[in-house]
Amino acid sequence: MPPKAMPPPAAPTSAFAAAPSVRAGVALMLLGMLLFSLNDVMGKWLVATYSVGQVLLIRSFAGLVALTPFIWAAGAASLFRIERPGLQALRAALATVEVFCFYAAVQYLPLADAMTYWLAAPIYVAALSPLLLGERVGWRRWCAIAVGFGGVVIAMGPSAAALSPAALYALVGSLTFGLMILTGRMLRGTPDVALVFWQMAAALAAGAVTARHGWVAPDAAALALLSALGVVALAAHVCVNRALKFADAATISPLQYTLLLWALVFGWLFFGDLPERRMLLGAAIIVGAGLFIFFRERQRGRG
């Protein structure tokens, strides 16, 4: 809240001058990352017993049920009055591939190790946002993103597991996650309800096709957890979609780095995964680079 004695603000002098919108985007992105982290913990726990397709099927169905009141309020017809249907379909497909790859990866990788692959997504976003979104990324941000990627490399560490099937799932998932963020930004005029609906519907279809392989009948507690997974995922997607409408992709995408911090904490709490020193060093570099990018944007807006 600004001091009461402050004079009225001057007229905005740059595109970044709408600071409240940017701050809202940052706050929503941080909340979305926390929710995604909780979703990741629950998902890793569940895929130890249930197939990835089964998890996708039940979580997506529960998410769509939770979305029903919002669809009712917006009107079902609004789901079909969307901009650029081809791009909408591409985004839904990317989201499905991304979540499938993540659950496949965490079946075998520690949560924090898997997350380090996903932290490469801002590199793809920053590299492609000038071409696809027309956003300007200055040399300082490029340098900070490069430093952040160096932190990811340190956190991962070279090992024979780099070419394992789980690691390949993680690499594909991180790439599709970055592309999903970009397409979401390109579809900023689409209502959040429509974006999330088609995302969940595509995952539901994929789960329906693949769930029959290795189906395990869940008990009541497991069914509740699988359903809660869908509700948490829905809330996380809503937060990220809204954040992308408040701030440019290159500004808020580095905040995905907070996923690594949550993965370190939750991995230790729930799975007993103790981070190595290189993981902690990499995390510090990654978070530092992300914060530099954000504060650099604020400085540019005030100049």
CB 198 within 8 A of CB 257: no
Confidence of residue 297 (pLDDT cuts 50, 70, 90): low
pLDDT of 250 above 70:
no
pLDDT of 17 above 50:
no
The pLDDT tens digits of the residues spanning 88-142 come to: 899 999 989 998 999 988 888 888 888 877 877 767 777 777 777 777 777 787 8
Query: CA 268 to CA 273: how far, in whole Å?
Result: 5
Cβ contacts of 199 within 8 Å, gap of 6 or more: 91, 92, 95, 96, 237
| Count of C-beta atoms within a 10 Å radius of residue 63 | 25
The pLDDT tens digits of the residues spanning 51-88 come to: 889 999 999 999 899 888 888 887 888 787 777 888 88
Angle between helical axes of 258-271 and 19-47 (0-180°, round to 10): 30
Give the least confident one: 22-36, 115-129, 148-162, 164-178.
148-162
The pLDDT tens digits of the residues spanning 188-236 come to: 777 778 888 888 899 999 999 988 887 888 888 889 988 998 889 888 8
